[in-house]
Amino acid sequence: MATLCAHSSPAQAITLLDIIRGGPANRAPVYNDRLPGRETRERRVDPQPLPKVTGPKYHAYKPDAVRAVRTAGFAVAGNDASPFADAKVSASEDVAAAIESFYGKNATPLWVSNGDVTSKAQAVIELFERADAYGLDPADYRLTVPELLTASTEPVSATMSDGMAAVPGDGHRRALMQFELDLSASVLRFAQDMVRGRLDPNRISDYHDFKRKDVKLAFVLPFVRAEENPAAYLEGLAPQSPQFVALKAELARLKAKVSDRDQRIELPYDLLLKPGTDDPAVAGVVAAIREVASDDLTSAHAETLSGYQEAGKYTPELVELVKAFQKEAGLKPDGVVGRATVRALVGHSDEAKIEKLVIAMEQARWLPTELGERHVFINQPAYMAYYHEDGDEQFSMRVVVGSKSNQTYFFQDEIETVEFNPYWGVPQSIIINEMLPHLRSDPSYLDRMGYQVEVSGRPVSSSSVNWYGSTQSIAVRQPPSSDNALGELKILFPNAHAIYMHDTPSKSYFQRDTRALSHGCIRLAEPRKMAAAVLGVTEQEIGSRIAGGRNKGEKVTSKIPVYVSYFTAWPNKDGVIEYFDDVYDRDAATLKAMAATTKARTS
């Protein structure tokens, strides 16, 4: 298991040495006359260096596979199948199947009539050009529109269907049929993207864990046929949650703001600008400071900002301006513009915010249409947890999430149990990566630290275990105490990643602004408050359960959805969008996946 946080159950029955070395065949030869798992006199070859248990991986994104739509069986009412049969359309399996199902039923064209493209088709094409308003890419849905009938000089064909009346010769007719299928494929792709997003999140990384939504594409084209305004029907497929609506409105606001500017502010990511040097990027630095610095800072340096004219000259006055900005941004005020300063300058620009909004709108589509009247929402980049009841946010609290090397997953589940005075079952990953080096040199390490050790279910002392050559299952756990890593309680939503919410004795971490510090689980600043909310009791009652000192689990009366999410742009309870740093660089991975998707769809 890759997530490095606590387990409540014993370790699996697998030899610790097997885990370390990769299997029985890799063991160092050991000759002894002792019981397995017990320390006795032995001679042993030097062991191989210990490997590390590594976490999940990020992947080079692979877009949906496509296949050719089988058009040979298509027929236009009153005509032969040849125009459709000549059309070449490639699409994902579910889009292709929906096209084949619809046009295989002797359907008349949806998008062409009397030798021309219909007004309904034109309206849908115009919608596609506005797809970016919904966080989608218009390029994914563009297609070639045939020339108008009046522009064609081909002779009129004598054999035509009702939908193809007065069509010129075979070349134009084939172009119209190609357009017909291309537009239907784009409509289906657009409908699917509006509902579930363009990406399969699980292909971005192993930290993403979502069941991809099943969009019933077989119903889309029949619905479109029945609609007077297909474009409005397709627009109506967008998520209607308050969060998505707020993201969409903010995207429109920022796009309008950016379009009013003369030019986009860009700075090289690897820029290194030192006092006394010149660089063309100086102009971008000044422009970025004008946009993102506080009013107080720009007022204090108004003369420098208004008087800047020497392109590329990093003057002493500009150095002081940069130092002031660095101080305001919490950076070392040395006047050197490097990666951290570039990130502070353009990482919060309107363009950067637009990217965050587009990613957030994509990710919002991975979540259920309704989050639930009662739920817990954890946003890792915000380092916050929010409890909702009766559809409204009741309270929020600070959290600590996984470090960059022990990242918290992005998934959803349901809260089932609160456990008081918990044991901490130490995961094998922590035993191997963190404890084993101590145990090799000091086998009594766990005894002194108050941990309990079992070999094949039998309690043993840590010092009695041969940490080089045990052949038995070893479990390590920390009993309930004020020093227990899980504190007073943990809140369980059983999942494949062994992630849960819990208390912690390390309270000082909650005072930090950056709180990516755990082994992957969610540490709560106010665990009693969250436990009381999910159990529907008072904090005083929670305190009474803890005061008994006994390890005990209590089921919640109804399962409560919990969203362990990752949004660098998300609305607060007042609907105002807040922006956060990309703690794990997941936004960058998502942008690459989006680019790969558009490349695959347009090539």
The Cα 598–Cα 198 span in angstroms is: 9
Confidence (pLDDT) at 22: 37
Judged on CB neighbours under 10 Å (0-12, 13-18, 19+), 471 is: middle
Confidence (pLDDT) at 15: 36
* H helix or E strand, kind and range, residue 518: strand 516-518
The Cα 430–Cα 438 span in angstroms is: 12
Which among 442, 461, 458, 439 is positioned nearest to 450, based on CA atoms? 461
Superfamily classification of domain 371-423+480-567: L,D-transpeptidase catalytic domain-like (2.40.440.10)
Q: Examine the residue annotation and report whether 521 is marked as an active-site residue of this protein.
A: yes
Cβ atoms < 10 Å from Cβ of 168: 19
Joined together, the tokens standing for residue 47 give 């062991």
Four-point Cα dihedral 356, 60, 428, 466, nearest 10: -140
Catalytic residue among 7, 301, 519, 521: 521
Region of 65 please: left (phi>0), alpha (psi -120 to 50) or beta: beta
Judged on CB neighbours under 10 Å (0-12, 13-18, 19+), 483 is: exposed
Which among 594, 162, 153 is positioned nearest to 356, based on CA atoms? 594
Confidence (pLDDT) at 152: 44
Q: Which amino acid is at 246?
A: A
Catalytic residue among 375, 388, 502, 519: 502
Four-point Cα dihedral 27, 29, 31, 35, nearest 10: 0
Phi first, then psi, for residue 521 (nearest 5°) are -80, 170
Q: Examine the residue annotation and report whether 59 is marked as an active-site residue of this protein.
A: no
Pairing of strands 501-502, 522-524: parallel
The three-state DSSP-derived secondary structure of 101-114 is HHHCCCCCCCCEEC
Cβ atoms < 10 Å from Cβ of 148: 11
Which among 306, 470, 501, 303 is positioned nearest to 402, based on CA atoms? 501
Confidence (pLDDT) at 431: 84
* C-beta separation of 132 from 252 below 8 A: no
Confidence (pLDDT) at 523: 98
Which among 204, 194, 211, 182 is positioned nearest to 91, based on CA atoms? 182
Confidence (pLDDT) at 148: 64
The Cα 477–Cα 571 span in angstroms is: 40
Joined together, the tokens standing for residue 136 give 């989608």
Q: Which string of b and e fits 82-105 if b means at least 16 CB within 10 Å?
A: bbbeebebebbebbbbbbbebbee
Confidence (pLDDT) at 414: 98
Confidence (pLDDT) at 168: 53
Sign, CA dihedral 330-335-341-344, equals positive
Low-confidence ranges of the chain (pLDDT < 50): 1-2, 4, 6-45, 81, 149-167, 471
For 95, 141, 196, 219, 430, the CA distances from 216, given in Å and listed in that order, are: 10, 19, 11, 6, 44
> Which residues is 524 bridged to in the sheet?
399
Domain locations in the chain? 69-238, 282-348, 371-423+480-567
pTM: 0.82
